[in-house]
């Protein structure tokens, strides 16, 4: 870019919504943007580069907390790449765990659907299972917040 841009232009250039840019600034993930005399946010090339970094990390499923750590490592030119690799491998393990949970859910729903006659009768094993409540297997809470983009 040839100079500072507004939040709308930054959003278009990076694929990060203006709402999320404001959120990242409010939470401290990104430093506050410079402001015009009238209070409009202005973003330079370095800000846009950071926003693209955050967007890519979010696309890969990293939490905001993990992205803060990755940004710190990215800005630390004396970092050890082993720290970055460890974070990435931890995230891969977490993704694989979540994939396994989703596959188990899909198998359960497919099995319930297989046992449902799907006709005009009211009895339905899918609804019976839902009415029975949660399974006895405890689930780990999702540590991530929804990602409004």
Residue pLDDT, tens place only, 96-122: 999 999 999 999 999 999 999 888 888
On whether residue 55 sits in a domain, the answer given is yes
**Which residues, including other chains, have CB under 8 Å from residue 104's CB and lie 6 or more apart?**
none
**Alpha helix ranges (H) inside 15-149:** 18-26, 45-59, 64-75, 81-114, 125-132
Task: Give a yes or no: residue 22 inside a domain.
Answer: yes
pLDDT (average), residues 115-135: 89
Read off the pTM: 0.76
Do the domain assignments include residue 139? no
Which residue range(s) make up the domain with 54? Answer: 7-61
What is the number of domains present in the chain?
A: 1
In a domain, 16, yes or no: yes
Q: Is residue 48 part of a domain?
A: yes
Q: For residue 112, tell me if it sits in a domain.
A: no
Judge whether 127 lies within some domain: no
Q: How far apart, in whole angstroms, are the C-alpha atoms of residue 18 and residue 41?
A: 11
Q: Report the CATH number that the domain containing residue 27 is assigned in CATH.
A: 1.10.1660.10
- Phi then psi for 41, rounded to 5 degrees? -70, 145
What is the rounded distance in angstroms from the CA atom of residue 107 to the CA atom of residue 77?
Answer: 46
């Amino acid at each position: 870019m040839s100079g500072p841009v507004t939040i709308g232009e930054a959003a278009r250039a990076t694929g990060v919504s203006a709402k999320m840019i404001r959120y990242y600034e409010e939470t401290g993930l990104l430093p506050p943007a410079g402001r015009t005399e009238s209070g409009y946010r202005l973003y330079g090339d370095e800000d846009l580069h950071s926003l693209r970094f955050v967007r890519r990390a979010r696309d890969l499923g990293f939490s905001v907390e993990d992205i803060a750590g990755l940004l710190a490592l990215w800005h630390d030119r004396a970092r050890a790449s082993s720290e970055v690799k460890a974070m990435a491998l931890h995230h891969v393990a977490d993704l694989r765990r979540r994939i396994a949970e989703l596959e188990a859910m899909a198998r359960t729903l497919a099995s319930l659907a297989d046992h449902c006659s799907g006709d005009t009768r009211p009895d339905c094993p899918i609804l019976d299972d839902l009415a029975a409540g949660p399974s006895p297997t405890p689930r780990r809470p999702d540590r991530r917040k929804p990602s409004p983009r």
